[in-house]
Amino acid sequence: MTATPFPADAIEQANRDLAEAGPETILRWAVKRFHPRLLMATAFGVEGCCVIHLLAGIEPGVRFINLETGYQFPETLALRERIKTRYGIAVEYVHPEQTVAEYEAEHGGPLHGLRPDQCCFDRKIRPLRRALERIAPLAWISAIRKDQTADRGKAGVVQWDAKFGLVKVNPLLNWTKKDVWAFALRHDVPYNPLHDRDYPSIGCWPCTRPVAPGEDDRAGRWAGKVKKECGLHVIEQQDGGGI
């Protein structure tokens, strides 16, 4: 297992201590333990916006990044500005090495239709890895919920992220979709207007479509393909578990 400043037994203990805790308590713990080497990567889904709202009241100096693939919806980019206005938090864009035009020219067209794993790797994972090397966080926060996918159902509130060599903190893990929306509406949290147009889960525009009544919330992501995750939140079992 990769060396960690937060060993496995400390992660287990934190998980036990925080198993029944609410998001604010979990975030206060993460800030106390890891800030200023605490990072949040957000795609500006309503869950991430709730976490930003909470962190704005706890420690607005936490570093926030967004993987700006060049294929995000205009509504998503506009939401970044609304968050900046509301909270004074400027989410930092992490860009791929190549613009969309350069990337598509090199590959003879877009890859998102034919080779989405390659496209996500080039435009999300690789830029993220470079950003992590530069920022050197010890821990990062995600806004995943247990009930979103089978993989996410296996996550812990605090876990070792073997893929990126970081402690991962999942403050909303035990919230339901109803909990998230009740919080967002109660606190007037800025959120992506696409959520009101049948996009429960929002990624890049070529790989996201609205869902029909009764469909799974993530049915609109990479619709018609086996792919359900971009690779950031996929569990990698290692030394007894981790993400």
Q: State the Cα–Cα distance between residues 144 and 87, nearest whole angstrom.
A: 22
Q: How far apart are CA 190 and CA 207, in angstroms?
A: 23
Considering only 119, 131, 132, 157, the residue that binds ligand SF4 (CB under 6 A) is 119
Query: Which residue shows structure tokens 């590959």?
Result: 107
Window 9 to 48, contacts with ligand SF4 (CB under 6 A): none
Tell me which residue has its CB nearest to ligand SF4: 204
Q: How far is the CB of 165 from ligand SF4 (least distance, A)?
A: 22
Q: Are 56 and 89 in contact (CB under 8 A)?
A: yes
HSE at residue 116, side-chain half, CA atoms within 13 A, is: 19
In the complex with ligand SF4, the residue whose CB is nearer, 110 or 165, is 110
Q: Report in angstroms how near the CB of residue 129 gets to ligand SF4 at its nearest.
A: 14
Find tokens 């993987």 and name the residue: 67
Chain residues 68-107 in contact with ligand SF4, contact rule CB under 6 A: 69, 71
Cα dihedral across residues 27, 29, 30, 36: positive or negative: positive
Residues in a beta bridge with 38: 139
- Quick one: tokens of 233? 């939140």
**173-232 positions binding ligand SF4, by CB under 6 A:** 203-204, 206-207, 230
The answer to whether 230 is a known catalytic residue is yes
Instruction: Based on the shown chain and the rule CB under 6 A, indicate whether residue 123 belongs to the binding site for ligand SF4.
Output: yes
Catalytic residue numbers read 230
Residues that bind ligand SF4 (CB under 6 A): 69, 71, 112, 116, 119-120, 123-124, 203-204, 206-207, 230
